[in-house]
Amino acid sequence: MNDNLTPSLAKVGDKPLRIALYPGTFDPITNGHVNIIERGLSLFDRIIVTIAVNAQKIPCFPLEQRMDMIRQCFPDSDQVSVGHTDGLIVDFALRHGAQTIIRGLRMVSDFEYEFQMALMNRRLERSVDTVFLMTGFRWFFISSSGIKDTAQRQGKITGLVPKHVERALREKFT
């Protein structure tokens, strides 16, 4: 796992690295998130999974624990790093050399909100594009909040989150 967030001047051949951000609260990271990251790696040389800190949300897991959960999903990858920001995503993208923001979509209802965010980000910084990736079919129905609610009620979450995240949720809610 590469946690060096400094923009790299490295190139692939004679082309600059294609760096993307994948922002979210990741409270916690789910297999749907992992699916988007893995698929994004076929499009980008590097993905910075960026925990967007929202003062209006009270997360279940502290920031450092969420960052560690993400790192554990990609322990041997030099292509995935983890960062966080409480500022604008486009500003974070510029500071870290990212040209693209990845947003995952599960269903049509996600699109309206995500489209508005993409337009605002484009208005704020024209050099940063947004790419939408559909979540794999088997993950359409899951969300971090749904998983937390199920875990809190002692429901079965096996296979919906990575094993280390499932353990953390069980510890949190037992």
Q: Which residues are catalytic?
A: 33, 57, 106, 144
Counting Cα atoms < 13 Å in the Cβ hemisphere of 129 gives 6
The bridge status of strand 19-24 relative to strand 129-134 is unpaired
Instruction: Name the H helices within the chain.
Output: 31-40, 63-73, 89-95, 108-124, 144-152, 163-172
Question: In this structure, how many other beta carbons lie within 10 angstroms of the beta carbon of residue 136?
Answer: 16
Asked if 47 contacts 21 with a C-beta cutoff of 8 angstroms, the reply is yes
Asked if the peptide bond before residue 28 counts as cis, ω within 30 degrees of 0, the response is: yes
Chain position carrying tokens 């624990």: 65
Taking the C-alpha atoms of residue 123 and residue 102, their distance in angstroms, rounded to an integer, is 17
